Amino acid sequence: MAAAGQNPHGEADLVMGFEPSSALDAGCGTGRVAVELARRGVDAAGVDLDPDLLARARAKAPDLLWAHADLAELDLGRRFDVVVAAGNVVGFVVAEHRPAAVAACAAHLEPGGRLVAGFQLRAGWPTLDEYDRWCAAAGLALEARYATWDRQPLGPAPDYAVSVHRRASD
């Protein structure tokens, strides 16, 4: 992306707008988002189901917490200011486990924390209405929605959306 003149860190840029001290990269893959957030001073961690991708993340940043877990069963025993699910994570979760994965991500949020997820809107993947229902059931309220990670407005027939849901302050 950088070679093509595009910003490879749009996800981190958006997350940093919330001024987090901690963030969980849910479905982190090779750790690109968590590593960038840590570089910017955030206490970042990552979780993924793929051990090979996690090994690549650990090689990049061995001092960060990298957890091997299914998002639907996630329990790290701590909370974060932001949980970010970039790279179509929600769509890649097995369909019947998506509500549980959203609930587990929400359970890892500090009061007032945000779940930020971006995913394509395509057949067989969650609709925005479904995703909003899962978030509401997990105690989250929609705060903002964008067409891109750089906060472009959502048009009338989007094919991608970035949603920001917030946990109520206790």
151: CATH: 3.40.50.150
Q: What is the pLDDT of residue 87?
A: 87
Please indicate, yes or no, if residue 116 is contained in any of the structural domains: yes
How many domains does the chain divide into? 1
* Domain around 107: 10-167
pTM for the model stands at 0.95
Q: Which of 156, 157, 87, 164 is closest to 131 using CA atoms?
A: 164
Please indicate, yes or no, if residue 25 is contained in any of the structural domains: yes
Q: Using an 8 Å Cβ cutoff, are 80 and 105 in contact?
A: no
Please indicate, yes or no, if residue 5 is contained in any of the structural domains: no
pLDDT band at 9 (very low <50, low <70, confident <90, very high): confident
Please indicate, yes or no, if residue 106 is contained in any of the structural domains: yes
Tokens 């609709």 map to which residue? 127
Please indicate, yes or no, if residue 1 is contained in any of the structural domains: no
Please indicate, yes or no, if residue 2 is contained in any of the structural domains: no
Q: Which of 158, 155, 151, 81 is closest to 119 using CA atoms?
A: 158
Mean pLDDT, residues 75-99: 96
Please indicate, yes or no, if residue 17 is contained in any of the structural domains: yes
List Cβ neighbours of 50 (8 Å cut-off, separation of 6 or more). 29
pLDDT digits (tens, 9 = 90+) for 17-35: 999 999 999 999 999 999 9
129's tokens: 């209405």
Q: Which of 168, 119, 163 is closest to 140 using CA atoms?
A: 168
Please indicate, yes or no, if residue 32 is contained in any of the structural domains: yes
pLDDT digits (tens, 9 = 90+) for 43-82: 999 999 999 999 999 999 999 999 999 999 999 999 999 9
